[in-house]
Amino acid sequence: MTTNGGFEPVFCPIVPPHVLDRLAQHEDPAVADAAQRTLEHDALHRTRRRITAARGAAAPAGTPSGKPDRTIYDAHHTETLPGEKVHSEQDPPSKDATVNRAHAGLGATFDLYLKVYDRHSIDDAGLPLIATVHYGEKYDNAFWNGEQMVFGDGDGELFLDFTLPIDVIGHELTHGVTQYTANLEYYGQSGALNESVSDVFGSLIKQHALGQTAQQADWLIGAGLLGPNVHGEALRSMKAPGSAYDDPNLGKDPQPATMDGYVRTSRDNGGVHTNSGIPNHAFYLVASALGGNAWERAGQIWYDVLTGGELGTDAQFADFATLTVKAARERYGAGDEIQAVQKAWEQVGVQTL
């Protein structure tokens, strides 16, 4: 297990390996080859990319800027990072729509964290936001590598450009926020919590950018990413885990909504992209019960837990749930908020301690 100040694997892709495993058996050689290359790339980076854990990193002296500092690079379909610098913060819009979407997504993420939670960038110290687009050849993923965002273009048939869904960008950058705060281990339940926190704030970033209430939101992660012939809406659904896709090529969405369906597996770091459906659904239930803008009360409770310093790196679902109850009580007292939180965890089968 990782301890504070140790080393933490930080390669966090949006598409889980069980989907790519299936696509690697596709009858279309081009699709199968793209999936296989993506799998091999991700496996290599998952085992080799490590950085010093950044939990509790001190902010530099001075006041960080209230504006983002974004730089976009183009890998030109290589796997060399960061690639060629093609867009800076003050530049006019690019002729490349992918560059513009990456720039906008980084900005929307910065805006939510600053305007809602008074957090100055990923590290709360004004960290410049860097992204590389057009990574690899038909690379079917996007990831945070501990230092920057990386986007593939997809294979063009089953997966489209990974800059299309703004919540994918927010999801991946939130892995950076987790890295600088709770630094949740990327394995088992703590890894599923790591993934879930990224889904939660990725969804909130989209809702905030679109001005949507909890009732208006679709609660989908990666809507618009799947190709037009895929039978599915997105990569995941927080409202109804297990319903995001059911496709001959991708298979059926395996996410459980409650602990009754908890999946025990050694794949995908102990099922981090699968079992994240349980805390995802708990957050959806809290946000729906409270109504209004989900980034306000529900999001504030989750943010308080993530950044409060009490969440252990190896936290289990029950640990996280217990801290959300505590955070709701401390911030809002004995009102609707704490009742919504307690009921949500009860509904998904997670006991608070």
Condensed to tens digits (0 to 9), the pLDDT of residues 247-296 reads: 999 999 999 999 999 999 998 999 999 999 999 999 999 999 999 999 99
CA 93/CA 188 separation, integer angstroms = 42
> pLDDT value at position 54?
38
Q: Which of 172, 185, 195, 337 is catalytic?
A: 172
> pLDDT value at position 85?
98
346 is catalytic: no
CA 296/CA 159 separation, integer angstroms = 32
> pLDDT value at position 31?
86
Sequence ranges of the domains in the chain: 7-180, 188-347
CA 116/CA 130 separation, integer angstroms = 22
> pLDDT value at position 197?
98
CA 46/CA 20 separation, integer angstroms = 15
Using alpha carbons, select from 218, 215, 235 the residue that is nearest to residue 294: 215
Query: For 39, left (φ over 0), alpha (ψ -120 to 50), or beta?
Result: alpha
Q: Are the CB atoms for 181 and 306 separated by under 8 Å? A: yes
Q: Which of 120, 208, 273, 281 is catalytic?
A: 273
Q: How many helices and strands (H and E) does the chain possess?
A: 10, 12
CA dist 265 → 97, 101, 130, 269, 296 (Å): 39, 35, 34, 8, 35
Structure tokens at 216: 């208006």
Q: Are the CB atoms for 283 and 200 separated by under 8 Å? A: yes
* Fold of domain 7-180: Elastase; domain 1 (3.10.170)
Q: Are the CB atoms for 222 and 235 separated by under 8 Å? A: yes
CATH architecture assignment, domain 188-347: Orthogonal Bundle (1.10)
Q: Strands (DSSP E) along 75-185, which ranges? A: 84-87, 129-133, 142-144, 149-151
CA dist 284 → 214, 291, 313 (Å): 8, 10, 24
Q: What is the mean pLDDT of the chain?
A: 91
Secondary structure of residue 343 in the 3-state scheme: helix
89 is catalytic: no
| Alpha-carbon torsion, ordered 97, 102, 104, 106, to 10 deg | 180
Query: For 343, left (φ over 0), alpha (ψ -120 to 50), or beta?
Result: alpha
CA 85/CA 73 separation, integer angstroms = 4
> pLDDT value at position 8?
46
DSSP assignment, residue 5? T
Q: Tell me the pTM.
A: 0.92
Pick out the chain residues at pLDDT < 50: 1-9, 49-61
> pLDDT value at position 3?
33
